[in-house]
Amino acid sequence: MNKNVFKILKELGLLKLFTLVLLLRLPFDFLNAVLSANMIESFIRISEVKDSVNLLKTFGVFLFFTFILFAYNALIWSTISIYADMLFHKKLRNRILDIMLSSTGRDMEKLSAGDWITRLNNDVDRTSDYLVTPINFMHVSIAAFNMFLSSLVLVFLNSSLYLLTILVMIPFFILSNVIIIRKIPLYRKKSQEAYAKYTNWMEPIIESKEAITVFDGQDAVMEKVEEASREILRNNLKAHMLTAWSSFFNIFSGNLGYLLMFIMGNSMIGSELKDFAELMKITQYRAEMLKSINVMNVGFSNMRTNVISAVRIEEILNMEKENWKKDF
């Protein structure tokens, strides 16, 4: 977790609550992976012997456990997770409003009106996004946990195919997360700064429309608004392009890995692998690793984007501490 987000949670007294939400949600993906892998293996073996009665019984058992698992997951997200998110919004916005009301005029002038509004609304939402909304910190943590346990299972089932999976995944992961998306936070930050400028120009248009008309300043004002809008669009497009390239390499590595695994796995059947059903079980755990790496890839990108807002929120909270020190 980013240190700024950690400080905000600790200061709001919500660190334990969000830790609880994470721990309750953490095992779902791996349990679902185990259920899916064993279900595929069982269905293939039962289908090979054409045992329709046993097939229906097995289907009923897996259906029951799947229902229990997804009901538990839905319960967590629809109750405690939503409650934590709403409480975070409420406490953080109230804290910022308290700081604004208790600040002197000189302190308020340190930021423009548009900047205050952006931090109170957009930055609070993005900091909350960092924690709970798809796909950010919580999903990255769950994916990392799932990848770790799925890797252990895959090593136990067949170390050679696990090594193949790693050799294909790691280079593309580094390419996506280290090389491609490293500039995304910079573009997002510039976009947010441009959005604050855009908000600043909206205020005189609304409140001083007549004065702008009298002094024939419509063209100058609209030029500034257009310039800020273009800056927002330009930086967002650059960030989206990098995200698209990252997604392309993730999909390419996934398909390449499947192809190589089936070629290598087919040659192992009868020696290192018992049958085709076991190979399909292994591919399921490999799919979980791939899914986890993709979630982590997207999540790291989103976290880098949203953490900028957490830094901006932390600046406001630090302003309160500075004022408190001055009083003493």
* CATH number, domain with residue 98: 1.20.1560.10
Residue 45 pLDDT greater than 60, yes or no: yes
Sign of the dihedral defined by the CA atoms of residues 129, 130, 136, 137, in that order: negative
User: Tell me, what's the pLDDT at 258?
Assistant: 79
Domain total of the chain: 1
Over the stretch 247-303, which tens digit does the pLDDT of each residue have? 788 778 778 877 888 888 778 887 777 888 888 888 888 888 888 887 887 788 788
Q: How confident is the model at residue 67 (pLDDT cuts 50, 70, 90)?
A: very high
Over the stretch 162-181, which tens digit does the pLDDT of each residue have? 888 888 878 877 777 677 77
Domain of 272 in residue numbering reads as: 3-327
Alpha carbons 180 and 301: distance in angstroms, whole number: 10
Residue 309 neighbours by CB under 8 Å, 6+ apart: 119, 122, 123, 124, 125, 126, 127, 130, 192
CB atoms within 10 A of CB 53: 8
Q: Which of 20-34, 61-75, 146-160, 214-228 has the lowest mean pLDDT?
A: 214-228
β-strand partners of 273: 269
Sign of the dihedral defined by the CA atoms of residues 206, 212, 216, 217, in that order: negative
Tell me the pLDDT of the chain averaged across its residues: 80
Alpha carbons 309 and 302: distance in angstroms, whole number: 12
Q: Is 2 left (phi over 0), alpha (psi -120 to 50) or beta?
A: beta
